[in-house]
A and B are shown apart, each in its own frame.
Chain A
Amino acid sequence: MKAFAELYRKLDETTSTNAKIEALTGYLRAAPPGDAAWAVHFLIGRRPKRLLESRKLAEWAMAEADVPEWLFADCYHAVGDFAETIALLLPASPSASDAAGRPADPAADLPLQYWVESRLLPLAQSDDATRRARLIAAWREMDEAQRFVWNKLITGEFRVGVSQNLVVRAIAALSGLSAGTVSHRLMGDWQPSAAFWRQLEAPEVAEADISRPYPFFLAYPLEGDVEELGDPAGWQVEWKWDGIRAQLIRRQSSVFLWSRGEELMTGRFPELEAMAALLPDGTAIDGELLPWKDGAPLPFAQMQRRIGRKALGARILADVPVALMAFDLLELGGQDVRERPLEWRRAQLEALAPRSAALALSPVVEAASWEGLRAVRGESRARKVEGFMLKRRGSPYRVGRRRGDWWKWKIDPYSVDAVLIYAQPGSGRRASLFTDYTFGIWEQGKLVPFAKAYSGLSDEEIRAVDEFVRRNTIQTFGPVHAVKPELVFELAFEGIQLSSRHRSGIAVRFPRMARWRHDKRAEEADSMDTIRALLGRRES
């Protein structure tokens, strides 16, 4: 675990991509396979289910450090990081250092795999007294750097300024595999283990896991004028649907439905499974899941209603039927066809699409000029779509978020996905509920407060957020509750400008919550880079 803590330090201390890749390859090369698998698991943002509440962790740390609650709060205020505050406050451990405070024998170092599997995960099933004893025992066996990383793992805040892309590049450099292969192998529902790591860096052979999806190709928002893209004839234009991005796979007579967050959604959409059974084996389709009725989308809130249900009754299935708006084909006859040109994939998709109410083909919008397209784009709101997707003709299906071949040309207002970080009670009839929120976006691995918003949620959603705030408060500053950064909301706003009065350096006009992004994790929220791009767009 010392090596893993050291890796965290190195990644945390540099902003250089090369230095990060060097640190990653250095660690992964030297680590036992089981440690390497867990390290990758955490580094790409996967995490165990919540092991215990931050409040309890703080309570036990305060007792162990003999620090009263008010002083812990003052310290947290100075440090700005929960896991770090605890690591800095815990007394120097007797076993981690000798009498002069120097680190003890490195033989005391145990593998990451041991710490995670034998010490961390079992916390989930224990009662509080056992957890407390185990946690304190663990702290006492670690030095400060390890405690810090351990606390991050426990609180689910493990995040260290490396993108999945960087981890993929490091593994590719280490194994000699292509980045695409590594990305693909990291998809899906794998368990970290020595065997997984060996498989991950093994030479290319037929893939064993029949459920494994392909990495999604994600579009960038269009930054300049659309005219800069050149001749519109070079672009395939589709509507940008407002649903859940999904990949439907049929292999060996089984069906798998994956969300972009790599969540297996099979079983929640029975109408899709019936449709998918009509597909030939060895097929993977990319598309958008939509609440779809009588040939048109329903408001996305309807979808949320349906996702929120544990049991799907006949009533909700009839009220909110779902369809896959298919727009790309990634696998055909068991072959990966992502390198084929866009038009070829589209033609094959059209040829194999079964006639079913649960499958629609994303229509291609024809227009001779950008001016013409601009006019059609004006219908977006009426059509309940978010604007256009622009896809370069002849392009392959790429991996991850890339500039160049796919652009989203959204209609205004501006919007970003931000994370709920503070909440406070409203006034008047909302006084007993947490209804006033502050949202953060990412900047160098941290969430900076970006905008406040009060409106846009339904009463039902407000109650759900209120409940979340009550259960996930990390700290209070008077009426303001700092909450665990977990919930992601799409914020819409009308204007954006630089401001020296705001901590983020940005002020937005009329921010409001456009929707609750249940499908996004906090680390998938937008960063200041997105904002800077929006600013650039405003100036151009």
Chain B
Amino acid sequence: MALLELGPHGLYCAAGDFYIDPWRPVGRAVITHAHADRAQAGSRGYLTAASGVALLREWLGAEAAVEALPYGQPLTIGGARVSLHPAGHILGSAQVRIEQGGEVWVVSGDYRTAPDPASEPFEPLLCQAFVTEASFGLPIFRWPPEDEALDSVQAWWRANCEAGRSSVLFAQPLGMAQRLLTTLDGSIGPIHAHPEIERFNRHYRAQGISLAGLAPEADGRPALVLAPPSAQGDSWMRRWDQASTAMASGWMRIRGPRRRRALDRGFVLSSHADWPALLAVIDATRAETVWVMHRQPAPLVRWLVEHGRTAVAVEAQYGEDEA
């Protein structure tokens, strides 16, 4: 029996009368993670992982009814038993496990299996049906070892410092930016963060995640400037217009996106699973049915079907994220 169905507002669980990451306001919304496209305001009640509540309120405001659920702790909603489990995507990101009458469904949300000091480690789950993301659902997306990519970021920054110019690094402001800030070496030079990133940093620090110290004001020394991709060309960025530019994202695996943005460098760093990780996670769930949820789920669905699985495409109405 299907525990979930795709309604006009998103994934719906009839047994518990709640939605997961709905794209319109609903009665009760379970939120996998605090990226803006998942956090539609206007629902009567929200449920999210305890460590993600403060981040979610950045979008929903202080008045919204947000209920915190610690990872692993079951909650009965109507006829369904619901629990949240780390997804490794950003701080407080969760897979939603739903159980009813011995049937288990898991909705992954966005996830990453590689360790990240800025988020809780991904927890593999067993289920009969698995609803997976597929942001990078093509075999060209294969991440190099993360420490290698982070080393090249630092090497680029150091070389720029030596050449007397600043380095502007574009990254998803919630998740990837903090991932970088846990690793960047402040002894190379001052680090600045765009206000759109600093806005989230405080919630990370409040939960004891150690981020590199930020320099308060530009003092003319070559600096590393972290900024959201949407800031390319905005007024805050103007003072860095002579800088070398780069982006940290899974999209940097291919040359086209880097060239279209006229960036000097692209670093392959992602908060999402790459193709091998998607396949490994799907395998490890031992799910009989896989729902692939994305704007373009087709290749992964076809691959799974050709490899003997029952797989269904679920076209999601989420935005494409930059990570």
Which residues from chain A sit less than 8 Å from chain B, CB to CB?
12-15, 65, 67-68, 70-71, 74-75, 78-81, 84-85, 88-89, 92, 100-102, 444-446
Contacts and interface: CB of A to CB of B under 8 A. Distances in A.
Interface string B247-266: 00000011110110011110
Contact of A444 (B148, B254, B259, B265): B259
A78 B262 contact: no
Contacts, number: 53
B255 A81 contact: yes
Interface of B: 138-140, 142, 144-145, 148, 253-256, 258-259, 262-265, 298-299, 302-303, 306
Interface centre among B139, B253, B298 (most CB of A within 10 A): B139
B306 A84 contact: no
A88 B253 contact: yes
15 contacts: A13-B258, A13-B264, A65-B139, A71-B138, A71-B302, A74-B138, A74-B298, A78-B138, A79-B140, A79-B254, A79-B256, A81-B256, A84-B255, A101-B148, A102-B148
A108 B43 CA distance: 60
Contacts of A100: 145
A78 B254 contact: yes
A71 B262 contact: no
A79 B258 CA distance: 11
A85 B144 contact: no
Given A13-B264, A13-B265, A71 B148 contact: no
Contacts of A85: 140
Contacts of B298: 74
B306 A68 contact: yes
Given A65-B139, A67-B139, A84 B264 contact: no
A84 B258 CA distance: 14
B279 to A, nearest CB: 12
Nearest to A80: B256
A78 B306 CA distance: 21
Contacts of A101: 144-145, 148
Given A13-B265, A80-B256, A81-B256, A75 B306 contact: no
B145 A78 contact: no
A71 B139 contact: yes
Given A78-B138, A80-B254, 20 more contacts: A12-B255, A13-B263, A15-B262, A71-B138, A71-B139, A71-B302, A74-B138, A75-B140, A79-B140, A79-B255, A81-B255, A81-B256, A88-B140, A88-B142, A89-B139, A89-B140, A100-B145, A101-B144, A101-B148, A445-B259
B27 to A, nearest CB: 38
A88 B303 CA distance: 18
A12 B256 CA distance: 11
Nearest to B298: A74
A184 to B, nearest CB: 34
Contacts of B302: 70-71
Interface centre among B140, B258, B262, B306 (most CB of A within 10 A): B140
